[in-house]
Structure 1
Amino acid sequence: MKPFLLPMRNLIKVSTSLLCSLVFLFQSFAVSAQQAPNYTIEGKVTDTLNRSLDYATINLLQASDSSVVKVMFTDENGDYRLSDLKEGNYLVQAELLGFAKNTSQQIILSPTRPYKKIDNIVLHLANNELNAIVITGQRPLIERKSDMLVVNVESSTLAAGNNAMDILERSPGITVDKDDNISLNGKKGIMVMIDGKQTYLSSEQLGSLLRSTDGNTIQSIEIINNPSSKYDAAGGPGIINIKLKKNKMSGTNGSFNAGAGYGNGHKANTSLNVNHKSGKFNVFGTYSYQENDRTDIINIYRIVGGENQFTSFDQGNSMTMLRKNHSLRAGVDYQTSEKNTVSFQASGLLTDAGNENIGGVQIGSFQSPLDSTLIANTLLDEDFRSLSFNLNNTYNIDTLGRKLSVDADYSSFFEDASANYTNTFYNPDGSLLHEPLESRSLMPSKIYIQAYKADYTHPLNENSGLEAGLKYANVKTDNDLKFSERTDGQWINDENRSNHFVYREQVAAGYISYHTTLDKFGFKAGLRSEYTISDGNSLTLSNRVKRDYIDFFPNASVSYNPSDDHQYSISYSKRINRPRYNNLNPFSYFLDQYTSVQGNPYLQPEYTHALAVNYTLLKRFNFSTGYEITKDAVVEIMKQNDVSKSTFITNENIAQQKQWFLNVNAPVRFTKFWNSNTNITGFYLGFESENENSINYGQYAMQLTSNQNFTILPSLTAEATLNYQSGLQYSIYKIADAWSIDAGINKSFNNKKANIKLSVSDVFNTRDQYVTTQHANLNAIIDQKRETRVFRLSLTYNFGNTKIGSSKQYEKSDEEKRIGK
C-alpha cells in the first residue's frame, strides 16, 4: 500500500486546492447575489385533461408592448421557473407544437411582491381530431456547432444497415486504417467515447466493439477538437463521442428496423427499440442483431537489400469474415422527488466471429524471380462479450440551476480467440519444399473497468456560473497468449512465442470551470488535474514498468457576438494521449516468420497544445482555423532486419508533431427541394525528430465531405455523399488519395411512421488504402481493398405515441447528454 499512499496524498492536495478555489469563487459572488430581490415567476403547463406538458415553450412578455423578455422550456413535469427578473408588469405565454397558444393574466412584480406563482396555463389541441403529432423536420447530416462538428446519423439513409465503424469511416476528417486505428485529419490517438464515457479499449478491441454496434441504434456522432475541462484529458487530437438513441417521449412508443444487404457477402440486421414513460418512471430497452459476411483483400510487396543482392516478397491475402452480433441495452429513470432522479442502465454485447485468411507469398531474388512459395492458411475463431452497468443520481438542488450529478460505471470485456495456422512451402516447380508447419494459439483477453465521478453545477446569475467535479477510474487488462506447434503429432508449447501481460492503470482527476457573459463577450476558463498510476507487467519476460505522474490541463475560450449574423470565438486547450496498453507490451507477436509486431514498454505519454479560431456567418456558414503541436508524439515505425529478411512494427516517441488546419462548413439551400452541406478541411501535418529513425518532413492535405439532400415528393427523399481524402504522409508511410460516393433513397408511408430505405455505399467501388514506404532500409507497398461497395435495403416502423415538444429543447438536452447525463 505504501507506494500508493504518496500518490494519493498528491491527489488530495490537488483536489483540496481545486475545491478551495471553488469555495472562494462561491463566496466572492454570493455577496452580489444578495444585494437585490430575486424577482421570480413560477407555474405549470397542462392540457385540457390536466396532464403535464413537457418541453413547452415559455415566453415571458412585457405587459406594455408584448415584447419578449425571456424564453425557456418546461421540464419533464410541465413546470417552469423564471428567475433573476426585474421589477415590472409581465405576461407569460405558453406554446407547444399541435396546440393553440395561451397567455396568462398580467403579473405584477414589486419589492413587496418579488415572487408570484400563477395558475396553470392550459393548452388546447389546435385540431381536436389530432391524437398524435408527427415531427417531419429533419436535421442536416452534418451540423457545425460552436465547439464541435455533429454527424446526425439518425434518419440518414446512409446509416441503414451500417455498423458504427462504417459510419465513422464516412464522417468528415476521420480515417480508419487496416489495423482499425482511427485518425482525425491525419492524426492518430483520438479518444472514442460512447454516451460520454471513455471506452479504455485497444484499437483492435475498440474496432471489434464498433463493428458490433448497429448503426440504427446511433443518434449522432460528435467530433470535438477542443473539449472543455469537464471531459477527460485523454485523446490528443480530440474526442469522438458516439451518442446512442434514448427516447424520452411520454407514453409507450418505439421503433422496429429490419434490413438486408449484399457486398462480397450477405448482410442482415434487425433492431427493436421500446420506451415507456408514465408518471415518475421512464423505462427503455433496445435489442439488435447483425450478421455480416465480408471479404477483404490485402497485397504486400517488399524488397530487402538492393542492386543485385535483394530478396523480394510478393504477398497476397484474402480475408473472409462472418460476424454475428447480439446487443441489448435497457434502463430505467425514476424521479424519486421533484428534485431528484435516479437512472440505471445495463448493456451487453455478444459477438461470434469466424475468420479465414488465405495468403500466398512468392519469394524471389536477383537471380530468380521465384525461389519458393509460401501458402499460409489461418482460421480464427473469436468470441467477444461485454457487460456494462451505469448508475446515475441527479439532484436539482434548486430551481436556479444548481445541480449535483453522481455516476458509477462498471464494465467488463472478455475475448476468447483461438487461431490455427498452416504454412506450406513449395519449390518453384510446385513440389513440397518440406512438410507443412502447423501451429495454433489461444488468446484470451480480459478487461475490467471501474469509473466513479461527481459533477456539480452552480449558476451564479443569469450570465455566469461554475462547474466542478471529481473522477476516479481503475482499469485492469489481462492478456495471456499461449502458442504451440505440432511436432510428431503432438502439440508442444512454444515459450518463445507465448506471453502473459497484465496492465493496470488508475487515473484520479478533478476539474473546475467558470463561464460568464459580459454584453457581447463570453468567457470560459477551466483547469483539470489528472494523477496517473500505471503498472505494465510482462510475466513471461519478467519485465515490469511502473509510472506515476501528475498533470494539469488548462483550457480557455473567448467568444464575441457583435450581431446575430457574425459570431467569433477563440479557444485553447492542453490534452494528453497515454500509450495504449497493448503498445506497452514488450513481447513480439509473430504474424509469420517474416513479420511481427513488437511493443515498447518505455513509451511516454504525448501532450498536445491546441489553439483554434472560429467564425460563424449568418448562423449558417462556419469557418475555423487552428494550430496544434504535440510533444513526444507516439508514431508507428516499421523496422527491418536485413540478415533474417524480417520486418517488425513498433511504436516510438519522436520529437514533435505540428498541424495547421482550416475548416469550412457550408450548408446551402439551392432550391425548395435541394439542400446541400459541404465540409472542407485543409491541413498541414509535419514531423520533426532527431533520433536514429529521423523523420523530418511536412505535407499539405485536404479532406472533403459533400452531402446533397433532395425532396422529390413529401414522402420521397434522396441523398448522395461525396468523400475525398488527398494523399498524405504519416510517420514513414505515404498514403495515396481516395474517394467514394454513397447514395440512398427513402420512401415514407402511413403518415411517415414507416420508411423504406435503399442505399449503396461506395457506388463505384473506389475506396481503398494504398500505402508505400521508402525509409532507411525499408521498401514496401501495401494495397488493401476492403469490402466498401454494399447494397442495402432497410425497413423502419415507428409505433406508439410520437408527440414531442420544441426542437430547441431537444438540442439543449443533447448538449447536456454529451457528458453522459
Structure 2
Amino acid sequence: MKNLQKSVVLLFLLSAFAVFAQGNPGNTVKITGKLIEQDTKLPLEFATVTIQNTANVTINGAMTDANGEYSINVAPGIYNIKFDFISFKPTAILAKEITGNTNLGVTAMASDATMLNDVEIVAERSTVEIKLDKRVYSVGKDMMVKGGTVSDVLDNVPSVSVDAEGNVALRGNQSVTILIDGRPSSLAGSNVADVLRLLPADSVDKVEVITNPSARYDAEGGGGIVNIILKKGSANGFNGSVVASTGNPDNHGISANLNYRSENFNLFSNLGYNYRNSPGNSFTNTEYLNKDNTTRNFVNEKRISKRKQNGINASFGAEWFLDKTLTWTNSVSVRKNNGDNPTKTYFDNYDANHNYQSTRYRYNEEDEKDTNVRFSTNLIKKFDDKGHELKIDASVSKSMDDENAIINDITLGSPNLVNSNERTFNDEDENRALIQADYVLPLGENSRFEAGYRGSFTTMETDAKAEILNGGIWENNKNYSNFLQYKEKVNALYSQFGSKMGKFSYLFGLRWEDSNIDVNLLDSSNYNNKRYNNFFPSAFLTYEFNEGTSASISYSRRINRPRGRFLNPFSGLESNINIFRGNPDLDPSMTNAIDIGFLKKWSKVTLSSSAYMNITDDTFQFIRRATGDFAVQQVGGLDTTDPQGNVTIVDGEDIKTPIILTTPVNLAKEYRFGFEFNVNYTPFKWWRINSNFNFYRNETKGDYTFTYVDGKGNTINDFINLNRTAYSWTTRVNSKISLPLKIDWQLNGNYEAPQNTAQGKRIGVASANTSLSKDILKDKATIGINVQDIFNSRKMKNETYLPGELRSHSEMQWRQRQVTVSFTYRFNMNKNDKQKQQKEQQDNGGDEFMGG
C-alpha cells in the first residue's frame, strides 16, 4: 500500500511540474486550427501544416493530432499557410496577416481525383496509416482478404504474422494479446487461432497494432496488442453493403453490413453466413534413438484433414444520442458454428535399417459445436468540446464449445486388423464479465490527465474425457481425462499524464493490477490458487524535428498470463505418439519493453522504423520430451525382430513406439532485441507499395528437469538444456496498382527466415497471394478474385533433435491454396464512402475500451 501511495504522489508531482512548465515563448504568437475530410467531416490526423513567408520560405510547421487539430508558434507577420495530406488536394491560405494569437477555424480538404486516359482513378487513404504509437490497417479496401477469415486479415497486416497453425505473432513474438472491439471476446478459454478462423474477414473494419502500449491499456500481452475493430455504420439515412463469395476448396459465404442513422439515433448490424472446407496436411518423419544415439527404428507419420465449418454471425446495435453531450450504445452479437473434421493419419514403421515393417491407419472423426453470445453497453458523457469526458463500458458474454471424436486404430494388412477403438469428449463453457470507466481531463491547451478502472471476471470449465472400447464396453482412459476449472479475477487502476511543450511531448503513466486466479483439476482434487498484484509503469517521450520528422522512445512493463490451451492437460488424440498437453502449473511471465521509434514523411514516402528490446522473466517455452509410455501396434503374424535387442519389439509381434510429449514450461529469462522498418511508397497515384522488414535476436536462458518411468520400469531423471541464441528476420511487400478499365491488382509476398529453436530449428518459408477486382454497375458494385498461397508453399517446417531420444522433420499445412471469387454491392453509398463513424462512434469502436 505504501508503494501505491508513493507512486500516486510521484505521478501527481510530475503532473504539477508539467503544468507549471507550460508557457508561450517570447515574441511569438500562436496559429491554431483544425483539418477535416470534406466528404465525411472526419478529422485528418498527421496532415502537414506548413507556415511560409511571402517568398515561400518555410518558417515553421506541424502535423495535426488525432482530432485533426494543430498549433504552431511564429513571429507576427504575413504568411502563406499550406495544408497537405497524401491522396488529398493541397489547400492554402495565402497572404494571411498574423498579428496575435489566431484561430483559423476548420479547414476541409477534398479527396484528389485524377482523369488518366479516360479512366477515373480515385485516390483514397492508404490502407495502412502509420502513427507513432500504433499502426491502423483499414481492411475495407483490401481485396486480398475478400471471402476469407480474420486470420487472413491479420496475416496481411505489417508486423503481424500468422503461422500454419493459426498462432499470431507480433514482430516474431507470440506473447501478444488479441482483442475484438477492444475486448478479449471470450478468448481466454478458447484457442485464439480457432476463434479467428471462424470470424469472416468482411466483418472487420480495421486492425490496430500497438507494439508498446501505455498504462491506459490492459497490461496483458508481453509482445503488444492487436485490436480487431468490427464494422459499424456511419452515413445518415439507410445504407450498407452486401458481399457474396464462393471459392475452391469450398468457401461459400454471404454477409451484409446495414446501417440506419438519424439525428437522434443510429442503428447498425452485421449479418453473415459461411461454409468452408479447409483441407490440410502434415507429416512427421522420426528417427528414434537409443541412449547411445544409435538408431532404434523409424516412424513416418502422415496426416490428412478436412476441416468443414458451417457458421453464422450476427450483431445488432443501437446508439442513442440523448443530447449533444451524452451518447448511450447497446449491442448484441451471436456467433454459432458447426464443424466436421475427419482426419486420416498413417504411421509407416521401419526397423533400424529402414526396412519396412507395417503401416498403422488412425481415423479420427470429430464434430464440433461452438456458440458465443455477448451483450455490450457503453455510455459517453462529454463535459465540453475540448476532450473532457467520462466513458463507462460493460459487457457480459457466454461461450460454449463442444468437441466429440471417435477414433479407430487399424494395422493395415494384419490379421488382427483393429488395434483399438477410442472416443473423446471435450465440453467447454466460459462466462466473462467486463466493466470499465475512463476519465479524461484536459489541463490547458496541451496537457491531459487520464484515470480509470477495469474489472475482468472469467470462469471457464472444461470437461475432457477419453474412453477406449474394451470387450464391447467403453472404459475411461484416465491419462487423457480431466475436469479443468479456471477462474480469473483481475481488477486494475491506472492514471497517466501527458503534455506537449513546443516540439517535445511526454506521457507518464502507472497501472496497478490485482490478479486472483484459480486453476483447479477437480478429478484429481488438485487446487491451485495464484494471487499476485503488480505495478506497470509506462513512459513515452516524443520530439518533432519538423512537420514530417519525429522520434520517440517508450518504456512499459507487461504481463502474459497462461490461459486455455496452455493450461489444459487434455489433448486431442489424432496422433497417439506425438501428443500436445497443457501445463496447469504455468506461471505468468513479466516483460520490460523498450521501443525507440523514428517517423519520417516525404511527399511520396513514409518511413516508420523502430528498435526494440524485451526482457522477459518466466517466459513460456514449448519443449518435446519422452514420457516413458508407448503406443502398441499389433503386427500379428509378421516376422519382425529387433537387431539391437531394444524394447521396440515385444515377442516378435507387437511394435511399441515411444510417446513424445509437447508441453509449455516456464524458463528463467528471455532477451529479445530487434529493429523494424515500415515503408509506404506511392510512386504514382495509381500505384501504392507498403513493405515491412523485421530483424530480431532472441536469447533464452534456462533448463528443464523432469522424471519419467521407462519401458523397463526404471525411473529416469532427465535434463534439457534450453539455453540458445537465435537470429531471424521476416519481410513482407504489398503492391496495389490501379489499371485501366477500373481494375485493381494487388500482389503481396512474405518470407520468414530460418530460426534456431531450443531443440532444433524452424525452416524458412516463402509465400505469395494475389487478387484482382473491377468496379461495375456505375461503381455501386465490385467483383473480385483472390488467390491465397499461390505456390501452395505456406507450411510450418521444423527439425527437432533430442539426444538419446529422436531426430525428426515435420511439415504442417493448415490450409491448401485457396481461390475465391467475391461480389460486393453497395447501396446509398459509393466506393469511396469511408464507412467510418463520427468521432464519438469511433471512440466506442473498441479503441478506448482497452484503456482501463
Taking structure 1 as the reference length, what is the TM-score of the superposition?
0.84
- Cα distance change, pair 83–594 in 1 and its aligned pair in 2 (3 A): closer
2:408, 2:418 within 8 Å by CA — same for their partners in 1?
A: no
Which of the numbers 649, 666, 670 marks the counterpart of 1:653? 666
1:557, 1:571 within 8 Å by CA — same for their partners in 2?
A: yes
Which of the numbers 266, 269, 273 marks the counterpart of 1:282? 266
2:441, 2:450 within 8 Å by CA — same for their partners in 1?
A: yes
- What's 1:639 paired with? 625
- Cα distance change, pair 643–53 in 1 and its aligned pair in 2 (3 A): closer
Determine helix, strand or coil for the equivalent of 2:566. Answer: helix
- What's 1:706 paired with? 733
1:781 maps to 2:812: no
Which of the numbers 250, 259, 275 marks the counterpart of 1:266? 250
Q: Distance in 2 between matches of 1:491 and 1:730?
A: 41
- Cα distance change, pair 722–458 in 1 and its aligned pair in 2 (3 A): same
1:378 maps to 2:406: no
CA displacement at 1:560 relative to structure 2: 1.1
1:186, 1:728 within 8 Å by CA — same for their partners in 2?
A: no
Q: Distance in 2 between matches of 1:186 and 1:34?
A: 43
- What's 2:646 paired with? none
Determine helix, strand or coil for the equivalent of 2:195. Answer: helix
1:294 maps to 2:278: yes
- Cα distance change, pair 241–559 in 1 and its aligned pair in 2 (3 A): same
Question: Structure 1, residues 595-633: CA drift from partner, whole Å, max 9, x if none?
Answer: 333332322211111111111223512221122221111
Determine helix, strand or coil for the equivalent of 2:806. Answer: coil
Q: Distance in 1 between matches of 2:108 and 2:349?
A: 82
Extract unaligned runs of 5+ from structure 1.
1-9, 124-133
Determine helix, strand or coil for the equivalent of 1:721. Answer: strand
- Cα distance change, pair 83–759 in 1 and its aligned pair in 2 (3 A): closer
CA displacement at 1:500 relative to structure 2: 0.6
CA displacement at 1:319 relative to structure 2: 0.5
- Cα distance change, pair 446–204 in 1 and its aligned pair in 2 (3 A): closer
Letter of the 1:574 counterpart: R
Q: Distance in 2 between matches of 1:641 and 1:25?
A: 56
Which of the numbers 488, 499, 511 marks the counterpart of 2:471? 488
- What's 1:724 paired with? 751
Q: Distance in 1 between matches of 2:329 and 2:759?
A: 48
Q: Distance in 1 between matches of 2:595 and 2:71?
A: 35
1:353 maps to 2:339: yes
Q: Distance in 2 between matches of 1:53 and 1:668?
A: 25
2:761, 2:799 within 8 Å by CA — same for their partners in 1?
A: yes
Which of the numbers 180, 196, 200 marks the counterpart of 2:182? 196
CA displacement at 1:41 relative to structure 2: 12
Q: Distance in 1 between matches of 2:370 and 2:837?
A: 38
Please give the residue correspondences for 1:582-661 in structure 2 after superposition, counting only pairs within 5 Å.
582-586=565-569, 590-618=573-601, 620-641=606-627, 644=630, 645-661=658-674
CA displacement at 1:467 relative to structure 2: 1.0
Q: Distance in 1 between matches of 2:172 and 2:50?
A: 51
1:330, 1:345 within 8 Å by CA — same for their partners in 2?
A: yes
Determine helix, strand or coil for the equivalent of 1:211. Answer: helix
CA displacement at 1:436 relative to structure 2: 4.1
Letter of the 1:701 counterpart: S
2:274, 2:310 within 8 Å by CA — same for their partners in 1?
A: yes
1:791 maps to 2:819: yes
Determine helix, strand or coil for the equivalent of 1:313. Answer: strand
- Cα distance change, pair 135–398 in 1 and its aligned pair in 2 (3 A): farther
1:579 maps to 2:562: yes
Corresponding pairs, count: 782
2:452, 2:495 within 8 Å by CA — same for their partners in 1?
A: yes
2:164, 2:795 within 8 Å by CA — same for their partners in 1?
A: no
CA displacement at 1:812 relative to structure 2: 10
1:55, 1:806 within 8 Å by CA — same for their partners in 2?
A: no
- Cα distance change, pair 576–295 in 1 and its aligned pair in 2 (3 A): same
Q: Distance in 2 between matches of 1:564 and 1:212?
A: 43
Q: Give me the identity figure in percent.
A: 24
Question: Structure 1, residues 294-343: CA drift from partner, whole Å, max 9, x if none?
Answer: 21011111122246550221111110111011001111111112211111
CA displacement at 1:284 relative to structure 2: 0.3
Please give the residue correspondences for 1:303-452 in structure 2 after superposition, counting only pairs within 5 Å.
303-306=287-290, 310-366=296-352, 369-426=355-412, 430-433=413-416, 435-452=418-435
1:339, 1:396 within 8 Å by CA — same for their partners in 2?
A: yes
Letter of the 1:270 counterpart: I
1:570, 1:613 within 8 Å by CA — same for their partners in 2?
A: yes
Please give the residue correspondences for 1:443-592 in structure 2 after superposition, counting only pairs within 5 Å.
443-586=426-569, 590-592=573-575
Question: Structure 1, residues 38-80: CA drift from partner, whole Å, max 9, x if none?
Answer: x99999x9x9xxxx99548999999x99x999999999xxxx9
- Cα distance change, pair 379–588 in 1 and its aligned pair in 2 (3 A): closer
Determine helix, strand or coil for the equivalent of 2:749. Answer: strand
Q: Distance in 1 between matches of 2:287 and 2:60?
A: 74
1:54, 1:74 within 8 Å by CA — same for their partners in 2?
A: no
CA displacement at 1:566 relative to structure 2: 2.1
- Cα distance change, pair 502–664 in 1 and its aligned pair in 2 (3 A): same
Determine helix, strand or coil for the equivalent of 2:232. Answer: coil
Q: Distance in 2 between matches of 1:526 and 1:734?
A: 40
Q: Distance in 2 between matches of 1:804 and 1:466?
A: 37
Question: Structure 1, residues 441-463: CA drift from partner, whole Å, max 9, x if none?
Answer: 22110111111111111110111
Q: Distance in 1 between matches of 2:404 and 2:277?
A: 19
- Cα distance change, pair 549–57 in 1 and its aligned pair in 2 (3 A): closer
Determine helix, strand or coil for the equivalent of 2:187. Answer: coil
- What's 2:193 paired with? 207
Letter of the 1:320 counterpart: K
Question: Structure 1, residues 107-128: CA drift from partner, whole Å, max 9, x if none?
Answer: x999xxx999x9x9999xxxxx
- Cα distance change, pair 731–41 in 1 and its aligned pair in 2 (3 A): closer
Question: Structure 1, residues 9-54: CA drift from partner, whole Å, max 9, x if none?
Answer: x6xx88877777777778888899999xxx99999x9x9xxxx995
- What's 1:4 paired with? none
- What's 1:128 paired with? none
CA displacement at 1:189 relative to structure 2: 1.8
- Cα distance change, pair 61–773 in 1 and its aligned pair in 2 (3 A): closer
Question: Structure 1, residues 719-753: CA drift from partner, whole Å, max 9, x if none?
Answer: 11111111122342411111112111111124422
Q: Distance in 1 between matches of 2:354 and 2:64?
A: 79
- Cα distance change, pair 27–73 in 1 and its aligned pair in 2 (3 A): closer
1:340, 1:396 within 8 Å by CA — same for their partners in 2?
A: yes
CA displacement at 1:271 relative to structure 2: 0.6
Question: Structure 1, residues 503-550: CA drift from partner, whole Å, max 9, x if none?
Answer: 101111111111111111111111111111111100111111111111
Question: Structure 1, residues 433-483: CA drift from partner, whole Å, max 9, x if none?
Answer: 353411212211011111111111111011111111111111111001122
- What's 1:765 paired with? 792
- Cα distance change, pair 609–456 in 1 and its aligned pair in 2 (3 A): same
What's the RMSD between the two structures over aligned residues?
4.5
1:688, 1:696 within 8 Å by CA — same for their partners in 2?
A: yes
Letter of the 1:705 counterpart: R
2:32, 2:71 within 8 Å by CA — same for their partners in 1?
A: yes
Q: Distance in 2 between matches of 1:102 and 1:589?
A: 65
Question: Structure 1, residues 160-207: CA drift from partner, whole Å, max 9, x if none?
Answer: 111001222343343434543322233222110111112452585322
Letter of the 1:154 counterpart: G
Determine helix, strand or coil for the equivalent of 2:193. Answer: helix
Determine helix, strand or coil for the equivalent of 2:732. Answer: strand
- What's 2:847 paired with? 819
